[in-house]
């Protein structure tokens, strides 16, 4: 028996004995019809565009409008938390940053034999920034704060409250908690500031009095 290979839908039993007849070929769907039509095609969109792109118009006349929209968007910039910190930029996963902080601190305290000696000076420099994640209860998006620029709990808390803008007037109703190196959540303020800065892995502002 000759092997029949076709792309046609399974046809009825009325199949010609000669597989090479023209009518067979006509019943086959073309590759395009069989596959692209179903899976969607870039060249032949299923729906018509919601706006017709006019090259001339877009290139020449629209720059002013674009700038206006851009300005509007800039003022809406949620990509920026504060002037100096962009959320999510550079695109380095947070656990990478965390581990970097650990190693810098450990470098300074335990194994100083090589790091500070040879080039780069990566050990010493890095202690300048100590970003940790901060979340406020009830707020979906977290922030990041640089612990190294603060000297006391008061300035830190004031900064955090300012960061979460709209909650300013309720400052007293929040308490600051932090997660230490062992993973435990503790109330901030019990230990000396320096110790706190080196143990805190992340912070959370929690509502008081529930």
Partner 1 sequence: MAYSFPEEVLEHVFSFLTSDKDRNAVSLVCKSWYEIERWCRRRIFVGNCYAVSPEIVIRRFPEVRAVEIKGKPHFADFNLVPEGWGAYVYPWIAAMSAACPLLEEIKLKRMVVTDESLELISKSFKNFKVLVLSSCEGFTTDGLASIAANCRNLRELDLRESEVEDLSGHWLSHFPDNYTSLVSLNISCLGSEVSFSALERLVARSPNLRTLRLNRAVPLEKLPNLLRRAPQLVELGTGAYSAEIRSDTYSNLAEAFSACKQLKGLSGFWDAIPSYLPAMLHVCSGITSLNLSYATIQSPDLVQLVTQCRNLQRLWVLDYIEDRGLEALAASCKDLQELRVFPSDPFGAEPNVSLTEQGLVSVSEGCPKLQSVLYFCRQMSNAALVAIARNRPNLIRFRLCILEPRVPDYLTLEPLDTGFGAIVENCKELRRLSLSGLLTDRVFKYIGTHAKKLEMLSIAFAGDSDLGLHHVLSGCESLRKLEIRDCPFGDKALLANAAKLETMRSLWMSSCSVSYGACKLLGQKLPRLNVEVIDERGPPDSRPESCPVERLYVYRTVSGRRVDMPGFVWTMDEDASLRFS
CA 18 to chain centre: 61
Residue 60 vs 172, nearer CB to partner 1? 60
Residue 116 vs 154, nearer CB to partner 1? 116
Minimum CB distance to partner 1, residue 203 (Å) = 14
- 69 φ/ψ angles, rounded to the nearest 5 degrees: -65, -40
Minimum CB distance to partner 1, residue 83 (Å) = 13
Minimum CB distance to partner 1, residue 44 (Å) = 9
Residue 124 vs 189, nearer CB to partner 1? 124
For 1, 3, 132, the CA distances from 202, given in Å and listed in that order, are: 73, 68, 5
Residues 6 or more apart whose CB falls under 8 angstroms from that of 150 comprise: 156, 159, 197
Separation of alpha carbons 180 and 196, rounded Å: 9
Residue 23 vs 114, nearer CB to partner 1? 114
Separation of alpha carbons 177 and 162, rounded Å: 17
Minimum CB distance to partner 1, residue 111 (Å) = 5
């Amino acid at each position: 028996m000759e092997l029949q290979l076709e792309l046609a839908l399974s046809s009825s039993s009325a199949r010609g004995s000669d597989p090479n007849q023209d009518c067979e070929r006509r019943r086959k769907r073309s590759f395009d019809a069989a596959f692209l039509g179903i899976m969607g095609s870039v060249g032949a969109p299923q729906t018509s565009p919601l706006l017709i792109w006019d090259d001339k118009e877009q290139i020449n006349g629209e720059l002013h409008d674009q700038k206006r929209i851009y300005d509007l968007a800039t003022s809406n910039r949620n990509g920026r938390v504060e002037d100096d910190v962009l959320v999510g930029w550079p695109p380095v996963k947070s656990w990478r940053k965390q581990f970097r902080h650990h190693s810098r601190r450990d470098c300074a305290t335990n194994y100083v034999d090589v790091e500070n000696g040879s080039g780069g000076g990566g050990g010493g420099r890095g202690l300048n920034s100590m970003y940790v994640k901060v979340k406020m209860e009830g707020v979906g998006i977290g922030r990041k704060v640089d612990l190294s620029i603060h000297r006391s709990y008061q300035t830190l808390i004031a900064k955090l409250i300012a960061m979460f803008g709209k909650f300013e007037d309720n400052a007293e109703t929040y308490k600051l908690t932090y997660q230490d190196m062992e993973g435990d959540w503790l109330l901030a303020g019990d230990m000396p500031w320096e110790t706190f800065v080196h143990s805190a892995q992340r912070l959370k502002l929690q509502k008081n009095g529930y």
